[in-house]
Amino acid sequence: MDARFTEEQELLRRSAREMLVRECPMSLVRAQLGDPLGAVGSLWDRISEAGWTGLGFGEDVGGAGLGLVDQVVLLEELGRVLAPGPYFATVLLGGAAIDLAGDAAQRRRWLPGITSGTTRATLAFLEDVERWDAAAIQLVAERNGNGFRLQGAKRFVLEACCADLLVVAARTGAGEEGVALFALDARTPGVATLPIALIDGTRKFATLRFDAVQVSHYALLPGGWPVLARVLDRARVALCAEMIGAAERVLELSVAYAKTREQFGQPIGAFQAIQHKCADMLVALEGAKSATYAAAWALQENEVDAPVAAAMAKAFTSDAFAKIAGDGIQIHGGLGFTWEQDLHLYYKRAKLSERLFGNGAWNREVVARALVDG
């Protein structure tokens, strides 16, 4: 593994940062906080025009054919600005599931729209319990003639309100072998989308209800649970990349404030307590970067221990981001809690990111089982 980014990756980082500074100011992020649909207008158009929606997909479906490590570079920059909108759900969840699970015809049918940005997608996984294994999937997919009938509900579906295409995990039988993935139009009769508000207003979630939803056998993606597990591992690492980008921005804001805020006639950054806190934030950030980059490389190269690397990265990075965001607020003092400051938005993103794709305890349990099983 080469720990250094290539010249092309650094160019992607610079161009992404320049574009996002221009197109995604914090005023845009704040403007869509109360909108259940989120920002799907000009920012999404710029993202699509830049080719970011096709970055990790093959050239045969209109993508750039790049790897997960390249996507990590971009996701860091999206995390820095708390970019709203359906990019993560479309590319890393719904699109990735179709790319990995679909057959050639299904990929040709759905992926060109995703890579061009004309189709927005998401993945419906969670139900009534906060589990990220096959046992959590209970939504029923009953065979009905030449297709299936879906009955049940999915909770906390990311960016479902603006999705055109849904990839739904359902159960056709027992165990991991009974898990199936279905791709269907979000406007299919019987599908109801109910927006819900969570702590982080920069991300939009909804409950999906399926009332005897009829889908054809062409909607069944042949990958099943093994592919879905890979999608979730990649999503964990992608979320880690967003988190380290956001955490780095919190550290920058905190150091800048410590240099200018004066107390007792000198900048607070001159006090050892503040210096140590900033140093601890940097150590946590660098550790999160190392874990995330290693996991991204392992998944990209299909290493045998890639799922464990993804779980370790998620456990460490979500804890690190939450600590960095909290410490940033402490450095700012009472000002850090005010609405006018941006730090509370980063803190809310950190607290939600802790839970997505398994919290620290869940992912440490994944690592522990892997150690026991040898």
Predicted local distance difference test score (pLDDT) of residue 251: 97
3-state secondary structure of 357: coil
Give me the residue label for tokens 């160019």. 11
- Phi first, then psi: give them for residue 259, nearest 5 degrees: -80, -25
d(CA 308, CA 39): 34
Over residues 66-83, mean pLDDT: 96
Kindly report the pTM of this predicted structure: 0.95
224-273 pLDDT tens trace: 999 999 999 999 999 999 999 999 999 999 999 999 887 888 888 888 89
Give the model's confidence band at 39: pLDDT under 50 very low, under 70 low, under 90 confident, else very high.
Answer: low
> Lowest mean pLDDT: which of 33-37, 219-223, 312-316, 324-328?
33-37
**pLDDT, position 181:** 96
Instruction: Using pLDDT thresholds of 50, 70 and 90, give the confidence band for residue 10.
Output: very high
CATH architecture assigned to 122-224:
Beta Barrel (2.40)
| Mean pLDDT of the 181-210 span | 94
Domain residue ranges of the chain, discontinuous segments joined by +: 7-119, 122-224, 225-373
Predicted confidence (pLDDT) at residue 161 exceeds the cutoff of 80 = yes
The topology (CATH level 3) of 7-119 is: Butyryl-Coa Dehydrogenase, subunit A; domain 1 (1.10.540)
DSSP state letter for 54: G
Q: Is the Cβ–Cβ distance between 203 and 84 less than 8 Å?
A: yes
pLDDT at residue 40, as a whole number = 62
DSSP state of 91: I
Sequence-distant (6+) residues with CB within 8 A of 225 are 134, 176, 177, 179
pLDDT at 294: 96
pLDDT confidence of residue 2 = 61
In CATH, 225-373 is 1.20.140.10 = yes
pLDDT at site 121: 96
d(CA 323, CA 369): 26
| Residue 19 CA from chain centroid, whole number | 20
The span from the CA of 276 to the CA of 238, in Å, is 29
